[in-house]
Structure 1
Amino acid sequence: MFECRTFITVKEIGEVLGVSESKSFHSAKQEHLVE
């Protein structure tokens, strides 16, 4: 049960980090294009 919860947490964190990274990447790309 505990291992299951940890796996889900790691998966959720990975998805959140993945979303944050892609958002930051797109923002940086747009700023670069604007400049």
Structure 2
Amino acid sequence: RGYVMDSGTVTMEGDAKQMLDDPKVRAAYLGE
């Protein structure tokens, strides 16, 4: 289980695969 935070607020939570498949997460944290 993981969490994505933006400006101190949890914006997403779920398993790693779910988060890595999210295009917003990939763009924000992986530079894609």
TM-score normalised by the chain length of structure 2: 0.26
**Greater relative contact order: 1 or 2 (C-alpha under 8 angstroms, separation 6 or more)?**
2
Q: Rg bigger for which structure?
A: 1
- Larger % of strand: which? 2
- Larger % of helix: which? 1
TM-score normalised by the chain length of structure 1: 0.24
